[in-house]
Amino acid sequence: MSAEAADPGAPLRRRSRPRIDLRRLGRVALRGPVSRDRLPDAISHVAEAHRAHHPDADLTILRRAYVLAESSHRGQMRKSGEPYITHPLAVTLILAELGAETTTLTASLLHDTVEDTEVTLDQVKEQFGDEVCYLVDGVTKLEKVDYGAAAEPETFRKMLVATGNDVRVMSIKLADRLHNMRTLGVMRPEKQARIAKVTRDVLIPLAERLGVQALKTELEDLVFAILHPEEYEETRALIAAATGPDDPLETIADNVTHTLRDAGISAEVLIRPRHFVSVHRVRRKRGELRGTDFGRLLVLVGEDADCYAVLGELHTCFTPVISEFKDFIAAPKFNLYQSLHTAVVGPEGAVAEVLIRTHRMHKVAEAGVVALGNPYAQDPAAAPQSEPSDERADPTRPGWLSRLLDWQESATDPDTFWTTLRDDLAQDREITVFRTDGGTLGLPAGASCVDAAYAQYGDLAHTAIGARVNGRLATLSTVLSDGDTVQPLLAQDTASGPSPDWLDHARTPAARIAITGWFSDHPDEAKPDPETADATGPGTRGEPAAATEREAPARSRSGPRPTGVVVDDPNAQVRLAGCCTPVPPDELTGFVVRGGAVTVHRRECPAVAAMQEIGRAPVVARWADGEGRESDAGCRVTLVAESFGRPRLLADLTEAIATADAAIVSATVEPPSEQRVRHTYTLRLPDAAGLPGLIRAMRDVAGVYDVSRAQHPAPAG
């Protein structure tokens, strides 16, 4: 199977076998049983392709699988008029040319038998073993059922679940879709367009992420021809016109070959034509195409070190285009891809892109996880497991697939699952960040500390208040870079929840689904109420160094009622509003808010007028006996400051308190916990009106992310 143009008539240099005549295969398939010792003629091409990658493969199981598939599908026809057996044969050929191992090919031949014939899984297991049965069952579960408008989302959700246990299931599904796309011309145009769009939005990105470039490029061209027929024909005409004896890439390839031979480097230099979509993209990017834009040079060598030797010779003997250099050997892509990319200037200023890789890298670049064989085959030299396990740990499964499997269970709504899946697949680059405990997190490029928090802590990340990135304090909106060390920081108040602003910073499905789910369970939390609004503007969760007064009630909404305030309902939970921080002898008024709690404000607070404007009935609130009389020495208040630990923090806090004309009656500093420090101060102020300014001054101290009224009585002093 070719990794180049999908059109078999395209005038490009192709290295693959010619397309098999499916009608001829259908006639061969119907000739009846064959000798038990002879390979059926209908799968001789599959055997040839398989032996090219696995010379010692035992073909007996393939013969038996074909006999069962042909006999069970006999009499069934495809919409194109061919015997149905031609479909599993074509799918198996695709995988064989990619280098799939025998078990995968066997399952591919049988992948429709359980769904469309009388063959049962028990029969498959009895005749071909547990491994083949497992794969066939996984592919069978992907078959579309009647889910109405949610058919495609549910189909691909099941594909992810099945693939979570074995990536070979998805490989068979991708080959199945490729063959269906090749024969899509017999369907109505509107159905062709629908299938092509789903292929474009989900299957092609999945093929890319599994590293199966050979499937991806042909699927792209087939979709391009269906959805954009005019642009496809224009591109086809450009490629045809560019084909001729005076190919500038031929000249550069000859020069590269002689250069490497003179340097004593054994290498194979090939011209790799671009497929239709690739040419179209280059045309849109550059406008007028150059002669070297229709292909790239591919240099294949034996060892990794040879790749860098080739690179050195090219950059020494040709003028390199430095901006085009990328090293995917030292830093492989998320889909296992490894290669060196560069560009050099040839004769008459022609610029040629060059790919440098080993033969092994090239095989993986074309076939991705398919080229890695059976990921569950036990190493004979390895010690046997003491206890069998039903869980499969797939060493070929990339981190992105693990994340998809984690969040798909949380996306109970098909539309949410579908939208989130497409958004996640649109991320074409992955970064790795390090945890402080030595572990790693795989995240899409552009991920923030919000994503890291949910990736590490799951739903516990609802209480996140900030992070340390490379040892420095950072907000949750901070975008992470590849190689960063990140430590999400969580609040002790487990009842607190995320901010709506987090959705603006979340890039991973896990984070977005968790945040959206939390707001679905707490619908009133999604919109800020006037009682939590600060006159200076709304605050933002996750901004520890610049937290606003709005956050204090939000973080203490589930705490015990503060001492000294009495309301009509003695059982009601009472809290002091963070926007005005009332203290004796302030005149008070309260309002019932979410959860039945009563928030108490100073009567002159702007939030009081706002609450009355929207029809909220006030609740009578007053200070308890003795709390309304201010002594000659001023008012006393207990404040709790939460901060990140750092040198001179205590000194800076006490200086801020002194600057605000407050006297420290007593102070307590709790031992640090997870880089967080909690300070409790009992303070005496000359006047209660100075309390808001004192709180702001303490919050302005670097490292302090929250200052609030204590939720317990102030000690005597």
Q: Which residues are catalytic?
A: 115-116
Closest C-alpha among 346, 291, 295, 340 to residue 318: 346
DSSP-based three-state secondary structure for 5? coil
Report yes or no: 75 and 50 within 8 Å, Cβ to Cβ.
Answer: no
| Interior/surface letters 61-95, b for 16+ CB within 10 angstroms, e for the rest | bbbbbbbbbbebbeeeebebebbbbbbbbbbbbbb
Of the candidates 660, 149, 137, 480, the one whose C-alpha atom is nearest the C-alpha of residue 681 is 660
Question: Please, what is the Cα angle at 208 between 449 and 196, to 5 degrees?
Answer: 115
Kindly give the residue spans of alpha helices, DSSP state H, lying in 141-188: 151-163, 167-182
Burial (CB < 10 A; 0-12, 13-18, 19+), residue 696, is middle
Closest to 717 (Cα-Cα) out of 638, 605, 618: 638
Instruction: Report the relative pairing of strands 618-619 and 635-644 from DSSP bridges.
Output: unpaired
CA 258 to chain centre: 44
Question: Residue 611 corresponds to which tokens in the numbers above?
Answer: 């609450």
Roughly what angle, to the nearest 10 degrees, separates helices 167-182 and 121-140?
A: 80
d(CA 404, CA 508): 9
Q: Which amino acid is at 552?
A: A
Question: CB of 579 within 8 A of CB of 533?
Answer: yes
